[in-house]
Amino acid sequence: TAGMKKDIERLYEAVPQLVNVFKIKEKIGEGTFSSVYLATAQLQTGHEEKMALKHLIPTSHPLRIAAELQCLTVAGGQDNVMGVKYCFRKNDHVVIVMPYLEHESFLDILNFLSFEEVREYMFNLFKALRRIHHFGIVHRDVKPSNFLYNRQLKEYALVDFGLAQGTPDTKIELLKTAHSEDQQESCLQNNSTMPLGNGMSVNVTVPKQIAQQSASKPSDKKFISHSKIQIKEEREGKEGSVHHSVQRSVFGERNFNVYSSTYQQSSSTKVIKHSKMIDVSSRKLVTKKKIISTKALNNGTARKAASGCSLNLICDCYATDKVCSVCLSRCQQVAPRAGTPGFRAPEVLTKCPTQTTAIDMWSAGIIFLSLLSGRYPFYKASDDLTALAQIMTVRGSRETIQAAKTFGKSVLCTQVVAAQNLRTLCEKLRGTNSSCKRSQGEVPSKSVSESTLPTAADKLCAPDTLGKQIQHLKNIQEGDGALEMKAADMKGWDQVPDEAYDLLDKLLDLNPATRITAKEALQHPFFKDMR
């Protein structure tokens, strides 16, 4: 891997302070906005320790870099939230040094975890989320590759605040400049903001001042908030079509071999390329928007046209299958969308401008859904409305439409799909339910990584369950399950308690206002005896 060596050389060159401090071993992740390296360092305590060096793309704005650092320093280092050891900078090159946590690839272990391990995993995820939500951080990109898991050590770490946003009352000062985008609504605002780059040159060294300034000078506020939105939009773009991509989570997974067990060797490279393409397209869009914005500012008629949006042109298309020149000529609503499509909450997918920490809880619910069903990624969507449609097929179209009303969205869907019973759904998908196995015919061989074979530990099973297991065993043997034998056991999967599905239901609450919080989740009966 000459490429990797070259990258390491380049990093040493870009940030020479690293030279005598770190032995950089390898690149362990690469995303569009950063690369992560594994290195060792000699500490003053006398120990040599493994470190993760996150090299941010030098095009990152200092405000973004600082905000990420502040999340790590203020909220991190505790309760399963990644902390920071140090940070090096030379000009535009910034390297964040974090403790290295050896971790599993979610996909590799998904179907080998015991039910108890799943319970612990979720409990520890909620601990991390409670921690960051307490500080008013909306992570926006909660997914397995951003939640490091060391199965042996039972250690966990929530990573990557590169997309984080502040709640209106966030305790992270540097996220405060960004939160006003929640109020972002009118067309006029969208179109009258200055181009991003200049916008970002607002003096940001004293964030408190900005907040005050912006209160008195509304234009400044828009300025910042819109800039933020644009950054977010272009940032999320890279995940655009690679739903299960690990692009964003450069420390989260060993992106180079995360698919090794399931996909052909070359696929990860393809995925990376692919996502870069998407990224390029989304960045282009930002620029396009920028040009339009500039026009709107400089040109009187354009400005009129922009403000025309607020004239609130009504047509008959609302809530019908029609679109016309009137409704289509209105401007697009701007709402934060950063994140990964398959993990986005319905209010994100429908562009609800006010988004809260509840979006992270939805994402946690998607992780839980993966764990319970043995499927990852669970949702496979390249765009927001496909993702929404997939959510409807699980949670019900009527239910989704109804919940969307509560956050101000009219959703029309030609397909009427019933909500699934979560237990039935998960058991069928996991294959714990033998009747379903039969009905679906033989399981395709090889690619199936079965985890559900009876072991000695399951001797106490009810005869009925045992029967199922035997049937199951047969199914596997008929397939090509021999390889999976060693990892296979029921490990509690034959008796998943109702509490699990009750909690899942509360996480996948379509209404963000009633969706369970991290604090509440930790108190949920599913975790009784864990606290």
Partner 1 sequence: VKQVPAPKSKTGRLKNPFVKVEDRSRRYRPFYLQFHIFPALNYSVPKPCSPFEVEKKLPSAPKQTQPKQRNKPNSDKDCGTPLHLPQKDKKKRGYCECCGKKYEDLYTHLESEQHQTFAQSTEYRIVDEIISKFVYQFVEYKDDAKKLKRTKCST
Catalytic (active-site) positions: 141
Please identify, using beta-carbon distances, which residue of 477 and 523 lies nearer to partner 1: 477
Candidates 79-87, 114-122, 153-161, 495-503; binding stretch for partner 1 (CB under 8 A): 79-87
54 annotated as a binding-site residue: yes
Binding mask 6-25 for partner 1 (x = CB under 8 A): ---x--xx--x--xxx-x--
- The size of the interface with partner 1 (CB under 8 A), counted in residues, is 150
Q: Which amino acid is it at 252?
A: G
Residue of 29, 166, 199, 365 interacting with partner 1 (CB under 8 A): 199
Is-contact 173 390, C-beta < 8 A?
A: no
Is-contact 155 101, C-beta < 8 A?
A: yes
Task: Tell whether residue 292 is a contact of partner 1 (CB under 8 A).
Answer: yes
Q: Which of 424, 447, 452 is nearest to 436 (CA)?
A: 424
Candidates 141-149, 238-246, 455-463, 493-501; binding stretch for partner 1 (CB under 8 A): 238-246
Q: Which of residues 35-54 bind partner 1 (CB under 8 A)?
A: 41-45
What is the rounded CA–CA span in Å between residue 344 and residue 352? Answer: 12
Calculate Rg over the CA atoms of the chain: 24
Please identify, using beta-carbon distances, which residue of 278 and 367 lies nearer to partner 1: 278
What is the rounded CA–CA span in Å between residue 274 and residue 287? Answer: 20
Structure tokens at 517: 């919080």
Provide, rounded to whole angstroms, the least separation between the CB of residue 500 and partner 1. Answer: 18
Q: Which of residues 322-341 bind partner 1 (CB under 8 A)?
A: 322-325, 327-333, 337
Peptide bond into 444 cis (omega under 30): no
Task: Tell whether residue 441 is a contact of partner 1 (CB under 8 A).
Answer: yes
What is the rounded CA–CA span in Å between residue 421 and residue 431? Answer: 15
What is the rounded CA–CA span in Å between residue 345 and residue 348? Answer: 5
Burial class of residue 406, CB neighbours in 10 A (0-12, 13-18, 19+): middle
Residue of 25, 77, 114, 186 interacting with partner 1 (CB under 8 A): 186
Q: Which of residues 102-161 bind partner 1 (CB under 8 A)?
A: 107, 110-111
Please identify, using beta-carbon distances, which residue of 113 and 521 lies nearer to partner 1: 113
What is the rounded CA–CA span in Å between residue 287 and residue 99? Answer: 37
Provide, rounded to whole angstroms, the least separation between the CB of residue 84 and partner 1. Answer: 7
Residue carrying structure tokens 């969208």: 190
Q: Which of residues 363-422 bind partner 1 (CB under 8 A)?
A: 373-386, 388-390, 392-394, 404-405, 408-415, 417, 420
* Alpha carbon 495 to chain centroid, angstroms: 30
Q: Which of residues 463-482 bind partner 1 (CB under 8 A)?
A: none
Provide, rounded to whole angstroms, the least separation between the CB of residue 314 and partner 1. Answer: 6
Helix (H) or strand (E) holding 96: strand 93-99
What is the rounded CA–CA span in Å between residue 387 and residue 345? Answer: 9
Provide, rounded to whole angstroms, the least separation between the CB of residue 320 and partner 1. Answer: 8
The pair phi, psi for residue 26, each rounded to 5°, is: -160, 160
Q: Which of residues 248-277 bind partner 1 (CB under 8 A)?
A: 262-263, 267, 270-271, 273-274, 276-277
Residue of 242, 258, 503, 510 interacting with partner 1 (CB under 8 A): 242
Q: Which of residues 301-320 bind partner 1 (CB under 8 A)?
A: 309-310, 312, 314, 317-319
Residue of 2, 216, 321, 456 interacting with partner 1 (CB under 8 A): 321
Packing angle, helices 498-507 and 358-373, rounded to 10: 140
Residue stretches of the annotated binding site: 54
